[in-house]
Structure 1
């Protein structure tokens, strides 16, 4: 009863302060958190590496089997606990050990933001270069990208991204995060449709579209299945405390089951349209879609430079990336903001200023490690940026997801009531959380951390 009264008290406090989403605002904000750079930057090249359409179908299956059950679990914990990712687990379990696991997800979100803001800064820089026409005055886009990372400009753009993110967060949940996503998510949809139409109208685009839409199941393997599973998990912003934090701002009348389906559908549609932009474009201009992260910042500028009105469409493409990145940086920063406000009683404005500056400082090694300005930031054959990405993506996030599945599946008896599912769907959800999702998430962790190989 005591925990329930504390939870209700916190709910009243957040509601009176405007710290609550409307129904549509919550869904748009959660979709914004999910549809980050991963679906436009990472998804196309891993799809190219692991079989095109067959891999995409595998991704959809994994999204349904693991992604959506874990997403619903995180939202349920957030709304049930009415606190940050750590406090919610403590309130619902009565044990501080679970709160410690929750704190790991909070720390992970903060570290992810520190290097994610670096990549988001690249997108803003390239959008400016593209619209101004400066981007297409170069012939060697690989050298251009290398020179950019060898300068101090990544630090400048990283700061701009964090400044914009902090400004949005400082306005609060309803007046800041919700209004921001209500503007940007429709903007993202419009940009996706415009760029998709342009890509499909290119002469010879059919071959690229066929690669993405006609499956060849002979290319699938155990490795591709785990990669699809990992991307389905990470594309929904799971394991980093974001969905638990957003869940704490959701009204009790909101159907979490329907919200989960809407968020999953938004993430899937975004990935699908991204594929219809990337693959026709790369096939038309003879580019290799599986070449890795350089696809976006090296190969695609070459395609836009050869395209009529390339500077305009290139600019739209990088604005699209920047929008997607900012919707994710906002959710990432809100995770530690919620924690310090509750743990230390700080005002939102002070929390935002302190954590934004701290994140900028922590992100400096990542921003500087990809060039040759600071050689000692590369060790073990990897720059500092890659090490941060590896630890967070392959260790922290799977661990966070595994904790949530075990907590909701076994430790928290009130999960069924909070989720609000009908009996059949409830049994299926609990079965997935108890017996399927933990095993599959553990396999992703073992594979991505290098413990098992195929």
Structure 2
């Protein structure tokens, strides 16, 4: 049995596509996968809703306790198996049942991309409107957002996002994914810093910064703990196959533990800067920071319209979110592309074109369900878009994370070596994977799916 496992490990090293990240390219790509709409769009309004700095601190703790151990586990499975998010399990000597779980994870990533591209399209639309000044011709920003989703424009922008994503992916790992992330991630950081400096000079900005940086632990509840844990999972792109897929392209000389720390640090830094833009702006203009998705597409345009050169800073803000969105759509599309290339032997070009078209087609009902154009796309009190989001975010992602933690914690014995951790850190990591992460991920699943509530 031991010989068979060693043989499987050797074969996994030889079975890769041959495509590899450079060390810096991998870290930037992994940060790009993690830093998406979750950090720039969802994180600010849930932080505003659940207590500001206290919630941010809770999110940081959850990321340390669960997020980073699972991130390292997914990277280890990807590099150890040298396959896609399904085949990596069987190449490591696991029963084909685990490969089946991997297929579910891959399908989840594909469906997530179908509606994620819609929201990414909103950011491109708003960037264009801001730079041209059209966004500020009518101060009823809530109606503008409603009109957008009541039209065919989300379908058009979804197509543009998938087209851009496909054009990048089709160039491959090094010339496509890595090269774009080397531009987008530093560019995103520059935009964040520029906007952060600008909003700090707004009257009342200090109050918003204080709300975000000074914790009030009396506002923390059991519900906020589950939300923080769920967001820590979502913000690192865990459970959707992206980290496993990227892990298959990592060189053996790359330290996975250092890469994990770098990705976690990048995730925190980008979330911190996003908060230092959102909250000073909302407080300066008397806006509600916990109003949900409308915070970015309704409240903030109102703030930009009231500041000097608002068209410029508004445009930069939405370009910043678009950058973050595209780095995530790239990683999401690569998950099924890697699968079909290995499963069917298709070329990268054919795989990207076919999957992009299919993703666009299955995403159209989500895009059209946001308005009142097609009534039957809303049922059970939710739009088709909301149902797809709910199933993927609250069921598929926790399931994917649970599968990885159990596999690395109990099934695959080579995880300890692949992680590259020292003896003490290895014991801590395995303890978290075996006894802490599975329980907490299961609780998140039960809470987010509505089985338990507070």
Q: Please, what TM-score do these two structures have when normalized by structure 1? A: 0.98
Q: Can you list the C-alpha shifts for 1:15-67, whole angstroms capped at 9, x where unaligned?
A: 3xxx1100000000000000001111110110011000000000000010000
The residue matched to 2:203 in structure 1 has which SS? coil
Q: 1:4 and 1:54 mapped to 2: Cα distance?
A: 44
1:254 matched to which residue of 2? 254
Task: Tell me if the contact between 2:13 and 2:81 (Cα under 8 Å) persists in the aligned partners.
Answer: no
Q: Conserved in 2, the CA contact under 8 Å of 1:93 and 1:411?
A: no
Aligned residue in 1 for 2:404: 404
| 1:9 corresponds to 2:18 | no
* Equivalent residue number for residue 171 of structure 1: 171
Secondary structure in 2 aligned to 1:250? coil
Aligned counterparts of 1:235 and 1:62: Cα–Cα separation in 2: 11
Aligned to 1:300: 300
The reply to whether residue 266 of structure 1 matches residue 266 of structure 2 is: yes
1:154-303 → structure 2 map (5 Å cutoff) = 154-303=154-303
Give the corresponding residue for 1:122: 122
Q: Aligned partners of 2:13 and 2:102: how far apart in 1? A: 21
* 3-state DSSP of counterpart to 1:93: coil
Helix, strand or coil at the partner of 2:413: coil
Counterpart Cα distance in 1 of 2:93 and 2:216: 47
- Provide runs of 4+ in structure 1 moved above 6 Å: none
Cα pair 2:75 2:246 within 8 Å, conserved:
yes
Separation of aligned partners in 2, 1:338 and 1:183: 23
Q: Deviations for 1:291-319, whole angstroms, at most 9, x for unmatched residues?
A: 00111101100000001100000000000
How big is each residue's C-alpha offset from its partner over 1:337-384, in whole Å with a ceiling of 9 and x where there is no partner? 000000000000000000000000000001100011111100011100
Matched residue SS, 1:85: coil
Report deviation, 1:2: 4.0
After superposition, where does 1:9-158 map in structure 2 within 5 Å?
9-11=14-16, 14-15=17-18, 19-158=19-158
| Residues 13 and 80 in structure 2, CA contact (< 8 A), matched pair in contact too | no
| Most deviating of 270-279 and 1-10 | 1-10
Q: How do residues 320-339 of structure 1 correspond to structure 2 at under 5 angstroms?
A: 320-339=320-339
- Cα distance in 1 between the residues matched to 2:93 and 2:36: 32
CA contact (8 A) 2:394 2:445 kept: yes
Looking at structure 1, the residues matched to 15 and 26 of structure 2 have their Cα atoms a distance apart, in angstroms, of 18
Q: Distance in 1 between matches of 2:397 and 2:77?
A: 17
RMSD over aligned Cα atoms: 0.7
- CA displacement at 1:203 relative to structure 2: 1.2
Residues of 2 paired with 1:298 and 1:238: CA distance? Answer: 29
How big is the shift at 1:217?
Answer: 0.4
Contact 2:70 2:404 in 1 (8 A): yes
Distance in 2 (CA, whole Å) between partners of 1:31 and 1:234 is 13
Tell me, yes or no, if the aligned pair for 2:212 and 2:276 is still in contact at 8 Å.
Answer: yes
8 Å CA contact 1:75–1:256 kept in 2: the answer is: yes
Q: How does 1:334-373 map to 2 (within 5 A)?
A: 334-373=334-373
Contact 2:106 2:240 in 1 (8 A): yes
Structure 1 unaligned blocks of 5 or more:
none
Match of 2:3 in 1: none
Q: In structure 2, how many angstroms separate the alpha carbons of the residues matched to 1:2 and 1:408?
A: 18
Contact 2:365 2:377 in 1 (8 A): yes
Which 5+ residue runs of structure 2 have no aligned equivalent?
1-5
Measured after TM superposition, the shift of residue 68 of structure 1 is 0.2
* Secondary structure, aligned partner of 2:308: coil
Name the residue aligned to 1:317. 317
Q: CA deviation at 1:121?
A: 0.3
What is the rounded CA distance, in whole Å, between the counterparts of 1:161 and 1:37 in structure 2?
A: 14
Q: Using the alignment, how far apart are the partners of 2:422 and 2:151 within structure 1?
A: 56
Q: Is the 8 A contact 2:337 2:352 kept in 1?
A: yes
